[in-house]
Structure 1
């Protein structure tokens, strides 16, 4: 396909300043879409932003993706392709992530082949990805949790948890750990005191596991403690930089 012809047909499209073979357009208020050809000119990278368009960050991400030919590294079996070594001033991102059309679904339903040749890219934090996500999990994380279009976002750590609390009567469903957020983890740990035969268990992006119970004393991975884990200690287990 001819990318130049396909992009030229997009309403309001204009060159992305500072990059060759790159364009930007705003399909609706608040959103800006930016697209750049890969070095082979047979595929492209797209980064979408909402509310805040940071030109320096967007071009840095697209240039990084192009330089590292991320389209050639995307695999459907591991739908988040995480490329380390990314840095940019004024942001704490440390990786660029590439996702296939099955995850980003850009140009979906438009009746053209542009979306099939577009790899979605966005800046991110290494603590947000395990490399073990299924396609369904990647879609859920991409669309509902990470918010990749928000350039000023804090880290959203990879966090899977299961729990049961006999005092509150709440708990997770089944034996598998589900994705959640750090505020839910902190809340359930705070509610654990006084709940005998209860537990909170969580996993980070490295696959490291913590299991906490209370029976008058605190037990963390089988070791007895007089005091609960502090909030900072809990958050440090997730391996993300401080927000």
Structure 2
């Protein structure tokens, strides 16, 4: 699975200005997405916005997530967060990531992409503990 090749085939895809190996795309006027591949190019860090698209916030979230990808992805937790995020004009103080087993994005049209996509989003540190109770209750796979 090559996320870059897959993203190139998305409708309305365009480079995300100011961040290398990152793109934006939308599904109509309401759902907006941005994604950046990880350092090794094998995974996609994706952020989703509903309503007004803030490309600056998307770029900041993806850049922060890429800087901290080792802490956000791959250790079996359904959700992880890294504190210290401070985007201009917002009060967020963390970036969180949900694992592929949790989010289900791309499952219908690009199922291979689902397994390598981590949904990243701005958060407040108090919202995300990173505890894995969700998985322990048998709700994850």
How high is the TM-score relative to the length of structure 2?
0.86
CA contact (8 A) 1:75 1:81 kept: no
Which of structures 1 and 2 has the larger relative contact order (alpha carbons within 8 angstroms, sep 6+)? Answer: 2
Correspondence list, 1:20-35, <5 A: 20-35=20-35
| Match of residue 42 from structure 1 | 42
Write the distance in 2 (CA, Å) between the matches of 1:134 and 1:23.
33
| Match of residue 63 from structure 1 | 63
Deviation at 1:109, TM superposition (A): 2.0
Write the distance in 1 (CA, Å) between the matches of 2:114 and 2:73.
18
Q: CA offsets, 1:6-37, max 9 Å, x none?
A: 11111111111111111111123211010101
Correspondence list, 1:162-201, <5 A: none
Write the distance in 1 (CA, Å) between the matches of 2:14 and 2:8.
9
Aligned residue for 1:56, secondary structure, equals helix
Q: Name the larger-Rg structure.
A: 1
Write the distance in 1 (CA, Å) between the matches of 2:27 and 2:10.
9
| Match of residue 96 from structure 1 | 95
Q: 1:71 to 1:10 in 2, by over 3 A?
A: farther
| Match of residue 86 from structure 1 | 85
Task: List runs of 5+ in structure 2 lacking aligned partners.
Answer: 137-141
Write the distance in 2 (CA, Å) between the matches of 1:70 and 1:30.
31
| Match of residue 126 from structure 2 | 127
Write the distance in 1 (CA, Å) between the matches of 2:55 and 2:86.
15
Task: List runs of 5+ in structure 1 lacking aligned partners.
Answer: 138-243
CA RMSD of aligned residues (A): 2.1
CA contact (8 A) 1:16 1:24 kept: yes
Write the distance in 1 (CA, Å) between the matches of 2:92 and 2:116.
26
Deviation at 1:86, TM superposition (A): 0.7
How high is the TM-score relative to the length of structure 1?
0.52
Q: 1:19 to 1:109 in 2, by over 3 A?
A: same
